[in-house]
Amino acid sequence: MTGLVLLAPGLPDSLLTPLRASGLTLQTLDGAPALEQAEAACAYVVFGGSPASAALIDSLPNLKIIAVHGVGYDGVDVEHARSRGVVVTNTPDVLTEDVADLALALTLNTLRALPMVEHHLRSGRWAAGERAPLTRRASARRYGVLGLGRIGAAIARRLEPLGGSIAYHSRRPVAGAPYAYYDSARSLAEAVDVLIIATPGGPATDKLVDAEVLAALGPDGVLINIARGGVVDEGALIAALTENRLFGAGLDVFAHEPRVPQALLDHPRCVLTPHVGSATLETRAAMAGLVVENLLAVLSGQPAVTPVV
């Protein structure tokens, strides 16, 4: 297989190694493509949030596929790509379980404030006779999942053994879902103790969790986000946390990654991870394999394995 594949900056070695083995020519695209790149490029590999605008797509006349290394594709102008005959693919399913695992881990860590109490031990305060602060129980709580897609449903299944109630909000009720449905993010937040965000990113969900939703969640509430940072109004979240209008937050994603506001870094009841929902050896290998499968299929004239539909 021959052809020039453009790469978004920062793609992991777990993907670059099998791409190199495919025989394709790889070049990183950082900014606008040079004329020679633009003419030769047949594929563009990106993260879900990497920009693949209509203008960029138009600048690559021989582009056949935009392959997303991830499940989200909010940075890609999918409709314009389709209008140009460019296939867009992603890597669904293979990362569902790991992202759901992290959501549960963030939930438990935030409710029990494990980083804070670990610091209490490591700093010598326990040995000095000072009791650790009390935290919140995880069992028998009211959990809400914002976005009951593949990942949201996997999160909900992990919450079931905790013995609480589970509710959700999606654009429409999910057929067969055994959980209570709420028709808005605000009404769901009002009904739960812990709100876990698993909705897609993009303009439709930008700042969906705003000051009003956070107020509905209330001072004993916990927010967990493993989706996209833009789904949350980060300024409103910081205000709610610093003014004790929210108990805590567990965040794997942020509005302006990799920059994280100092107020979140400093807050004792924030549990923060650097966008690592799918970052296990097993899942990254599976994601890389699926990206390569999609590229080779489309560039050889075959249907994509996992097209965005």
Residue 169 is a catalytic residue: no
Each residue of 122-151: b (16+ CB within 10 Å) or e?
eeeeeeeeeeeeebbebeebebbbbbbbbb
Residue 275 is a catalytic residue: yes
Chain CA centroid to CA 202, Å: 11
> CA-to-CA distance for 24 and 84, rounded, in angstroms?
23
> CA-to-CA distance for 49 and 52, rounded, in angstroms?
9
Of 69, 169, 228, 284, which one is the catalytic site residue? 228
Of 84, 142, 150, 275, which one is the catalytic site residue? 275
Q: Which amino acid is at 130?
A: E
Of 39, 130, 257, 282, which one is the catalytic site residue? 257
Residue 257 is a catalytic residue: yes
Active site residues: 228, 257, 275
